[in-house]
Structures are given as C-alpha cells and as structure tokens.
Amino acid sequence: MTFDAVDVIRTKRDRGELSDGQIDWVIDAYTRGDVADEQMSSLAMAILLNGMTRREIARWTAAMIASGERMNFAELSRPTADKHSTGGVGDKITLPLAPLVAACGVAVPQLSGRGLGHTGGTLDKLESIPGWRAALSNDELMRQLDDVGAVICAAGDGLAPADKKLYALRDVTGTVEAIPLIASSIMSKKIAEGTGALVLDVKVGTGAFMKDLADARELAETMVALGTDAGVRTVALLTDMSTPLGLTAGNALEVRESLEVLAGGGPADVVELTVALAAEMLAAAGVTDVDPAEKLKDGTAMDVWRRMIAAQGGDPDAELPVAPEQHVVKAETSGVLSRLDALAVGVAAWRLGAGRARKEDPVSPVAGVELHAKPGDQVTAGQPLLTLHADDPSRFERALESLADAVEIGDAYDATPLVIDRITA
C-alpha cells in the first residue's frame, strides 16, 4: 500500500498514532529516496515533540531492521552476548570487556562506532594501534568469533541501512535527543546483528547524551522492551557519567589504560564497570560459573586481547603513539577535589583533536586529557590536576577555555554510585 509523506507527517504532528502500514512505508520509501530528507526531518521533529507508543517504536525498529540484512550466530560453538554504551567521556570499557567475556566462554560480536562531538568512539581508539583495521567482511567476523571469541569492528553497510541514513539526518536537524529514535537506532542494529544476549550501558550525567535520570531510565526501559520483544535477552545498567571514566580521555591514552586493566591493574572505576558488565553479559548468555574478575587477574583476558588485535592486523606489542605537545593544568588551591565535569573534559579532548565535528573529519590518535586526580581525592595547591596532550600547541587555548569551570576544590565530596540502577524486562 502506498501512503503520502505529508499525511504521515501530519498524523504525528497532530499527536496521532502512526499505523504499521504508515511506518513500514515511510522507512522503506526514505531508504529508497522516495521520501525527501526535508520530509523525514519534519517527521523526526514531530516524533521528538510528540513521542511514540511502545507499539510504534517496536514497529519503527522492525522496519529499520527489515531495510537490510540480518546476521546469525547459531552455528557458533558458544553463546553470544554484546554490549552497547550510549556514550560518554573516557568510556573505554569495550576494549577490556570484549576479550574478558570471551575469556569466560561467551563469544562477543562487538559492532562499534566512531566518536562524534565530545563522546569518544571505540574504533577511533583501536585505530591508534599500528596496523589494526576496523572493517571486516561477514566471513572474517565469523571466523574470528569462532577462533578468538571476540571481535570489535565496524558494522557493515548491510545492517539497518535505514538507520545509517536517518542517523546522519538527525545529527544535523536537532532531533538526536528523541528517545524513540535513539532507542530504535541502537536496537535496530543490535537486533539485526543477531546476538543472543545484550547488555546496555545507559549513561546519565553531564558527559552523557542523557543528562536527566528520568530520561535515561525511559530510554533504558524502551530499549530493554524492544530487545525482549525481539527475542533477545536484554538488560540495562544506568551508570554515572558526571565524571570521566578512568584517568584518560583520548584515543591512544585510553588504549594504554585499557591495557593496564587487562594486566590486572588500572583505575578502580574502569575495573568495577568492566567486571559488572561482564557479569551481566555472562548471566544473560547463561554462563554463571565463571568469575570475570579472576580472568582479569590471571592474564587470560589479556591473552584473548592480543589474539583479537593480531587477528585484525594490529601489532599487540607495538608502541602506542605519544603526543609531542603537553600542557599541565595545576590545582589553584588545596582541599578535596569535589567536582571534575565530564562534559568539559570531553569537549577539551575534542578540541585537542581526539574527536570530530563531522563524521568525515580525521582524529588524532595522541590527543586527549590525562587526569591526575579524581573527585574525592585530596589535592594541594600547585600539584598537577590534568595534562593536555596534542599534536599542535595552538589547540591548548580553546581546550583550556572549555575547562575554565570544570574543576571545584572544596572541603568534602558526595560520592555517587557508579552503577545507579539495573533495568530488566
């Protein structure tokens, strides 16, 4: 059945509910180019303003899945589980997590993305390793999953092509924040990917897309429902992103920190979240007799990391690149570091060259921000708080502008739990 784009827009503009037929038609017609960008951007704005019912979101997600291929891991000898993070500052968790879960007996087909704006991208981080490549064919992905147990790579063009086109449009039309569109964007790719279990890390705080806990909870509940309805065992953790994760934000800097975690060390918050997400992935995949914390300590997760990197052309023994230019930010007073704003650090790393303003922009592997203290730490006047890393010293001025109000030093610190809540079907 053929519909009219203007009638579909009017239905949602007037707070009506789109029919299954309208949704199927508009997604298919937009993917084929029969619905123009300006029409779809108008519909996306109407969805942002007026929302969608659970049925509409489920059908919208299904229509985006139907626009492309679906993968199937049924032939693998072990169960599969995947993780998706909604993005944050210093969020390098995927790097130690994928090999850790594989070391516990569950295959991890981790299709990841690149950074945009102040949030870092997993593929950008891994590309700071000499020789490593993000693009794998489906056959290469399946072989590596069977052999190594873990893959971190770019999603192929065949998975949910409607989402790829719509995501780019949302990014330039002020509709990124629409919860139905965020949920369907994430879940269409994850369901099409074919994983048996999915754990969602939904960030909330200044450095996350979701600044408000109620919005983050709504997004998590929507995505868990979509996964469950599609037959994927899905659980979500709401996690704090008011402070950067770990002690680094930037590509090679975060790889270096991930290696510390895989070696049995690393910052406590990165270890805590890595182990918590690993435990959720293992439980969702039906594996309950392995302690992921032990696999970090005994080196087996590091063994899988080395094989995973080598399988994708990378040299696990290569020296990571180091920034030629550094600038140290010192504490102005003594006391307790009571706030270190995640968004400000993320914007600083972006301005130093670690991120991109447009999808086609290059990123610097060496740029970023290194933290020498975290909220709750005692600091003294004159001690280093942050080190800025860049290829070009001219980038320091704008990065420092973003950090002008990022730090507060006081008498006490009110700690927030890293894992705020757990959302199930």
Answer yes or no: 170 catalytic. Answer: yes
E strands of 241-318, at which residues?
248-250
Answer yes or no: 54 catalytic. Answer: no
Tokens of 194: 């074919």
Beta bridge partners of 201: 85, 237
User: 3-class DSSP state for residue 142?
Assistant: helix
Answer yes or no: 394 catalytic. Answer: no
Tokens of 353: 């060259």
Name the active-site residue from 189, 217, 233, 351. 189
Distance from C-alpha of 224 to C-alpha of 58, rounded to nearest angstrom: 11
User: 3-class DSSP state for residue 237?
Assistant: strand
Answer yes or no: 84 catalytic. Answer: yes
CA proximity to 325, closest of 250, 266, 272: 250
Decide: 13 and 150 in contact? Cβ < 8 Å.
Answer: no
Distance from C-alpha of 328 to C-alpha of 108, rounded to nearest angstrom: 38
Name the active-site residue from 163, 201, 229, 269. 163
Decide: 96 and 258 in contact? Cβ < 8 Å.
Answer: yes
Distance from C-alpha of 210 to C-alpha of 187, rounded to nearest angstrom: 17
Name the active-site residue from 59, 84, 114, 118. 84
Decide: 319 and 378 in contact? Cβ < 8 Å.
Answer: no
| Buried/exposed 343-359: b ≥16 CB within 10 Å, e otherwise | bbbbbbbbbbbbbbeee
Name the active-site residue from 112, 185, 188, 258. 185
Name the active-site residue from 59, 170, 351, 395. 170
Element (H or E) spanning 139, and its range?
helix 138-147
Beta bridge partners of 387: 328, 370
Distance from C-alpha of 279 to C-alpha of 287, rounded to nearest angstrom: 9
Answer yes or no: 189 catalytic. Answer: yes
The set of catalytic residues is 84, 163, 170, 185, 189
